[in-house]
Chains A and B, each alone.
Chain A
Amino acid sequence: MSYNLKMELSSDPRLLRVVRSAVEQLAQELGLDEAECRRVTLAVDEAITNIIRHAYQNQPGQPIEITCSRHGAEAGGDGPDRLEILLQDRGRAADSSEMHGRPLDEIRPGGLGLHLIREAMDEVEYQREGQTNQLRLVKYLRGKDSG
């Protein structure tokens, strides 16, 4: 069965809670267990947080688009059954040196978001397409009873 969920929001941290709720429920619908639902939700939250803080430098009212879709044979396509989440914004391009996160042996606030995203998801891919940042997050739905 195909699943598609598209959200357009402004760069307002108050909306994080709303997005987390939607993503968590979608992950549940796709049969991910409780811990995996939490991880997917965390990854999306951290990705939006990075967009607001770094791409838009905390400037409110800027557009963020989130598209969640199921891919793979179960959805009538190719490849493994998976949930793909594409986050797009029109802010500042990410510095490639920032895309590696920071060493975790250093105890200091900040810089954890990207590390958490990588830990939480199976694939993480960033690209700049024209004036748009695109972050693609993938979670495999291996053997899930996902209807």
Chain B
Amino acid sequence: MYPKERALQISTRQAGNAIVVDVVGDIDLYNSPEVRKTLLMALREKRAPRVVVNLSAVKYIDSSGVASLVEGLKISRDLGSRFILYGLSPAAREVLELSRLIKVFEVVDSEAQALA
């Protein structure tokens, strides 16, 4: 059985003018709507000029999770804000590579780089 800590937890925090979205756990069809909702809120309602998604505690992401990230990216482009991913696990990086989307996203290694 997967450990319980791999159930999804998602929270946001302010870091300067950026909103950091901390995601913990696996992202799949069951919980990707929650990720989508949080990203859309940060981008559309809070109008953060920079949204940083911390994926360092995400060990698994499937195409529905990737679709939520793509939607966040598209909205950020429409609004002229930045959308940055950091802390990709090997599994998350692999799914983005297999999807041929890794180069579409702004991906950095650390939160410091994302906020610089």
Which residues of A come within 8 Å of B, CB atoms? Answer: 13-14, 16-18, 20-21, 35, 38-39, 41-42, 45-46, 49, 52-53, 104, 107-110, 112-113, 115-116, 119-120
Q: Which residues of B contact A20 (CB under 8 A)?
A: 2, 26, 28, 60
Check if B1 sits within 8 Å of A46, measured CB to CB. no
| B63 CB within 8 Å of chain A | yes
A17-B6, A112-B63 given as contacts; is B95 within 8 A of A49 (CB)? no
By a beta-carbon cutoff of 8 Å, the part of chain B in contact with chain A is: 1-2, 6-7, 26, 28-30, 60, 62-64, 66-68, 70-71, 73-74, 90-91, 94-95, 98-101, 104
Provide a sorted-by-A list of 24 A–B residue pairs whose CB atoms are within 8 angstroms.
Answer: A13-B30, A16-B29, A16-B30, A17-B26, A21-B1, A21-B2, A38-B90, A38-B91, A45-B28, A49-B62, A49-B63, A52-B29, A104-B101, A107-B73, A107-B74, A107-B101, A107-B104, A109-B66, A109-B67, A109-B70, A109-B74, A112-B67, A113-B63, A116-B62
In terms of DSSP, what is the predominant structure of the interface of chain A? Answer: helix
Number of residue pairs spanning A and B whose beta carbons lie under 8 angstroms apart: 75
Query: Contact: B28 with A42, CB < 8 Å?
Result: no
Q: Which residues of A contact B6 (CB under 8 A)?
A: 17
A42-B62 in contact (CB<8A): yes
The distance in angstroms between the C-alpha atoms of A39 and B90, with both chains bound, is: 11
**A45 and chain B: residue at smallest CB distance:** B62
Q: Which of B29, B64, B90, B98 contacts A120 (CB 8 A)?
A: B98
With both beta carbons as reference points, the residue of chain A lying nearest to B25 in the complex is identified as A17
> How many Å lie between the Cα of A35 and that of B90 in the bound state?
9
Distance between Cα atoms of A112 and B100 in the complex (Å): 10
Cβ-defined contact, A112 with B90, below 8 A: no
Query: Is A53 a contact of B68 with CB atoms below 8 Å?
Result: no
Interface core residue of B28, B29, B60 (most chain A CB under 10 Å): B29
Q: Which residues of A contact B70 (CB under 8 A)?
A: 107-109
Measured in the bound complex, the distance between the Cα atoms of B3 and A18 in whole Å is: 10
Chain A residue contacts of B101, Cβ below 8 A? 104, 107
Give CA–CA (A90, B8) in the complex, Å: 30
Contacts of B99 in A (CB 8 A): 104, 112, 115-116
Assembly CA distance A49 to B90 (angstroms)? 22
Which of chain A's residues have a CB closer than 8 A to the CB of B64? 49
Tell me if A17 and B28 are in contact (CB < 8 A): yes
